Chain A
Amino acid sequence: MDPIISLNLIDYLILAAYVVITIVVGYALKKYMKTSEDFFLSGRSLPSWITSLAFLSANLGALEVIGMVANSAKYGILTVHFYWIGAIPAMVFLGIFMMPFYYNTRVRSVPEYLKLRYNEATRGLNAFSFAIMTLLMSGISMYAMALIFRMMLGWSLTASILLSAGVVLIYVFFGGLSSSIYNEVIQFFLIWLGLLPAVYVGLKAVGGFSGLAAKLPDTFLHAWKNMGSAAANPMGVDWMGVVLGLGFVLSFGYWTTDFLVVQRTLASENINAARRTPIMAAFPKMLVPLIVVVPGLIAVAILPEYSVALQGSATPDYNSALILLLAHYLPNGVLGLAITGLLASFMSGMAGNVTAFNTVWTYDIYGTYIKKNMPDEHYLMMGKLATIFGVLFSIGTAYIVQSFPNLMDYMQLIFSFFNAPLFATFLLGMFWKKATPWGGFFGLLSGIVAAASHYLLYKLNVIHYSSEMAANFFQAWWAWLTDFVVTIVVSLFTRKKAESELKGLVYSLTPRTKGSEMFWRRPEVWGSVALIVMVILNIIFW
């Protein structure tokens, strides 16, 4: 099959300039890496504009962008739920309520908080599952990305894998989390600058927003109007599934407990910057639909292979929607910029996985179970070794998945079991001082089991949902509820931690410091503004 896009000299020049600058930035950071905290947490010294953009970009990887454009071509404006209700409340909650516990306790990772608040077993359960999942995930996305580059540009799988893994290895090895964060900021600008021209030309071709709306069915144009019943909208989910499953459990679980994103806030220079990080990220987050939902809608309106699918007569390959659109509207030059944006966002996604892995591995696994109390240089060196090992393991995973493509679905399935319940453990840990160590452990464990059992019952046709997505959303909800209830019940019968040990870890045992800042710099104020803007957007696109 011929590649969809052919690049020429100018496009390759743009691509090469990006690769060179990332390596230069990584290498220039090398001399600042003196302690393990410099390497794993950027010495807790970054300003909030940088950490906010990195926080946002960590979730704007190429596969997310391509996948969300595909969702928009399939479901229309409903896709905004992943960006608004499925992100903003959780980000604001993290900034206002949870950040003080993460930042002020000086924990270095999410599992470490679980150790302080609950016990070693709870930390272990989270640290091991997170470390393994992160590496497997990075291998899976490397393979998925290589497939896309083959379809798009005709590159061989091995060429894509080695190029991206090689560059990521070099810059993370030298600069640690700082390299990763700096690259995420660069990526943020490249993906916007790369995709906006296609959005503009595409909109011009369909006659602006009103022309676009005229070409699409009514169900594609409303975010809530058709959510009354699952049968009435293309996504096959009702409003309760969206609010409970996506808006509450999945979103809060991801944005507030996934170490990959939380690590960016820990790199902030002080507590106020840390609290502002997710809240400031909420504003650009709300605009992301402009570069993912709009292209999806344009693809349906313009490209014949997607418009016929509206009549239900065909199932096109939605994952190529973005690439076909870029090929359709962008001349060489800006085309190279768009491809560079995609490659950059892919690499920074992988770097994010690698840095989150090397931190959890070094602090929570190696430093806890293998070699305790070594001098700091030892852990710094281990972090660098873990970077090499992590990248090699990801490459290995990519090749294994290539030979057994079904593995990919199973792995993603297993990840969803582990992720869903975690937010219940954190919520009770931070806001209910009576939650006990073993309550936390068994709550988390039973939440994971509940997710797995729910999946089995669904596959055996014991429970029914109108769509795969609805099943996902409700699986998350039941896993969360199980964790929540079991943690409370077990806590009533097991030994509590002394209150003195919980100081600073639980809301009611943490002295509240009155913010000395001017009112327009306070996270509470900006968090409220973000929520109001989100509500207005939802009303506009109702």
Chain B
Amino acid sequence: MAEKKSGSHFFDLKIPLGSLLSFYGLILVLYGLFGPRRIYEKSLGLNVNLIWGVVIMVVGALFLGFAHFRRRASN
């Protein structure tokens, strides 16, 4: 990347964003596994908390992974 300046001016947003999403994913998965079942009548029997929790956790982990990778690359 020829146009790159001296690294980002601020801290890397991927870290707080990735942490927030990973946390959301984790508590949704836990709630989906151990929480009440009755509430899924609304969502046509689908355990949305479990499924969507996994998706969000993956998105969050990707952000953290990229941030980690970049930091190592720049060192």
Contacts of A337 in B (CB 8 A): 24, 28, 52
- In the complex, what distance in Å separates the CA atom of A189 from the CA atom of B25? 13
Q: Which residues of B contact A330 (CB under 8 A)?
A: 42-43, 48
Q: For the complex formed, measure the closest distance between the CB of A275 and the CB atoms of chain B, giving whole angstroms.
A: 11
- Residues B46 and A201 in contact, CB atoms below 8 Å apart: yes
Residue contact B27 to A13, C-beta cutoff 8 Å: yes
The A-B contact count (CB < 8 A) is 103
How far does the alpha carbon of A269 sit from the alpha carbon of B20 in the complex, in Å?
26
List the A side residues contacting B32 at CB < 8 Å.
333
Contact across chains for A331 and B9 when beta carbons are under 8 A apart: no
Contacts of A196 in B (CB 8 A): 52
Whether, in the assembled complex, A32 has its beta carbon less than 8 Å from a beta carbon of chain B, the answer is yes
| Contact (A334, B49) CB under 8 Å given A32-B10, A201-B44 | yes
* A540 on interface, CB distance cutoff 8 Å: no
Interface string of A307-330 (1 = CB under 8 A from B): 000000000000000000000111
Across-interface contacts of A402 in B (CB, < 8 A):
none
* Shortest distance from the beta carbon of B1 to any chain A beta carbon, whole Å: 9
B14 to chain A, nearest CB (A): 10
Chain B positions within 8 Å of A538 at CB level: none
Of A45-53, A99-107, A156-164, the segment with at least 4 beta carbons within 8 Å of chain B is: A45-53
Instruction: Say if the beta carbon of A193 comes within 8 Å of chain B.
Output: yes
User: What's the minimum C-beta distance from B20 to chain A, rounded to whole angstroms?
Assistant: 5
Q: Which residues 308-363 of A sit at the B interface, judged by CB distance below 8 A?
A: 328-334, 337
Contact check, A45 vs B44: say whether CB atoms are below 8 A apart.
Answer: no
A529 interface hit (Cβ, 8 Å): no
Distance (whole angstroms) from the CB of B12 to the closest CB of chain A: 10
Q: Which residues from 42 to 73 on chain B have a C-beta closer than 8 Å to any C-beta of chain A?
A: 42-44, 46, 48-49, 52-53, 55-56, 59
> Which A residues form the contact surface with B (CB < 8 A)?
10, 13-14, 17-18, 21, 24-25, 28-29, 32, 38, 42-43, 45-47, 50, 178, 182, 185-186, 189, 193, 196-197, 201, 204-205, 269-270, 272-273, 328-334, 337, 516-517
